[in-house]
Amino acid sequence: MSEKEIRVDAREIRKSFGDNEVLKGVSFTVPRGSATAIIGPSGSGKTTLLRTLNALDVPDSGVIRVGDEEVDFSANPGKAELRRYRAQSGFVFQSHNLFPHKTVLQNVTEGPLVVQKRPAEQVRSEALALLDQVGLANKSDAYPYQLSGGQQQRVGIARALALAPKVVLFDEPTSALDPELVGEVLSVIKDLATEGWTLLVVTHEIQFARGVSDQVLFTDGGIILEQGPPEQVIGDPAQDRTRQFLQRILNPL
């Protein structure tokens, strides 16, 4: 695979919180236009791994290239370098993180207007198109409290896409939702994968990971224990620990 075909290239990423080493030299690549699912038990480092890709959690060491920006975190990058790096990706939080005092449309346009300082009419037009894409064209003037959890999460997705990122990062996007609302959010993510966006999704939805992702990373104990296509990692895992985890998730009783 050529360098241009790789959207994310992470090498020897380490991250500790106090004495707790959460990531222990993690390395992986994500091809452009692919969907990667990150699965594993709670506390295995999934969310921290995702957050390092947007420098929400700045790694202690290692090198990551996201889109057009590569950062050597061992060299203590400055604020300007981190800002350029963060601009390569959009982040969808599990708890929506919408501005409660702003309308749906204002939430989606905030980043392009304030951070990217793009023309207002262009931003508004693109935001309305994104809201239509996620099935919320009729909710542009609503406030977050007027929306269901699933609708709020779809606004969060539109907000991330409005920044035109090279990579979209999803941190357990359905974990805060009622079970009946999970499908509508997963459907939007599936459509994005079909359209060729580069996606990384931390998820407990194993069947979604099996059906939508191009590759699966199984994390445990701060390392990637197994990675490969879903038919391999989920369908025929090589590691006993992966098999044990999937057995508990897929057959909980």
Q: Is 39 exposed, middle or buried (0-12, 13-18, 19+ CB in 10 A)?
A: buried
Is-contact 131 139, C-beta < 8 A? Answer: yes
pLDDT band at 170 (very low <50, low <70, confident <90, very high): very high
| For range 4-30, the mean pLDDT | 94
- What residues pair up with 29 in beta bridges, in sequence order? 9
Cβ contacts of 195 within 8 Å, gap of 6 or more: none
The distance in angstroms from the start CA to the end CA of the chain is 42
Alpha-carbon distance values, 16 to 20, 43, 59, 194, 221 (Å): 5, 13, 8, 36, 12
Q: Are 86 and 55 contacting, i.e. CB atoms less than 8 angstroms apart?
A: yes
Q: What letter would DSSP give residue 112?
A: I
Q: Express the helix, strand and coil content of the chain in percent, nearest 5 each.
A: 40, 25, 35
Number of H helices, E strands in the chain: 9, 10
Whole-number Cα distances in Å, 146 to 2, 107, 108, 152: 47, 14, 16, 9
Q: What is the mean pLDDT of the chain?
A: 93
CA distances to 73, 170, 183, 203, 212 from 36, in Å: 23, 10, 19, 10, 9
Prediction pTM value: 0.93
Can you tell me whether residue 122 is helix, strand or coil? helix
- Looking at residues 210-226, what average pLDDT do you find? 95
Q: Quote the pLDDT of residue 237.
A: 96
Domains observed in the chain? 6-250 (3.40.50.300)
d(CA 123, CA 63): 33
Residue 5 has pLDDT above 90, yes or no: no
3-class DSSP state for residue 123? helix
pLDDT value for 251: 78
Q: What integer is the mean pLDDT of 232-247?
A: 95
Give SS3 for 126: helix
The answer, yes or no, to whether residue 1 has pLDDT greater than 70, is no
pLDDT-above-90 percentage for the chain: 84
Per-residue pLDDT band at 95 (split at 50, 70, 90): confident
Q: What is the pLDDT of residues 81-93, one digit of tens each?
A: 999 999 999 999 9
Token couple for 163: 């920044």
**pLDDT of 102-140, one tens digit each?**
999 999 999 999 888 899 999 999 999 999 999 999 999
Query: pLDDT category, 33, cuts 50, 70, 90?
Result: very high
Burial class (CB in 10 A: 0-12, 13-18, 19+), 253: exposed
C-beta neighbour count of 18 within 10 angstroms: 5
Query: Would you state the pLDDT for residue 139?
Result: 96
Look at residues 157, 153, 201, 174 and name the one whose alpha carbon lies nearest to residue 34. Answer: 201
Does the structure show a pLDDT above 80 at 253? no
Report the range of poorest mean pLDDT among 15-19, 153-157, 172-176. Answer: 172-176
The pLDDT tens digits for 177-200 are: 888 888 888 999 999 999 999 999
Q: What is the pLDDT of residues 138-151, one digit of tens each?
A: 999 999 999 999 99
Closest to 46 measured CA to CA, from 179, 153, 173, 166: 173
Q: The tokens of 181 are what? A: 């609302």
pLDDT at 232 over 90: yes
Residue type, 123: V
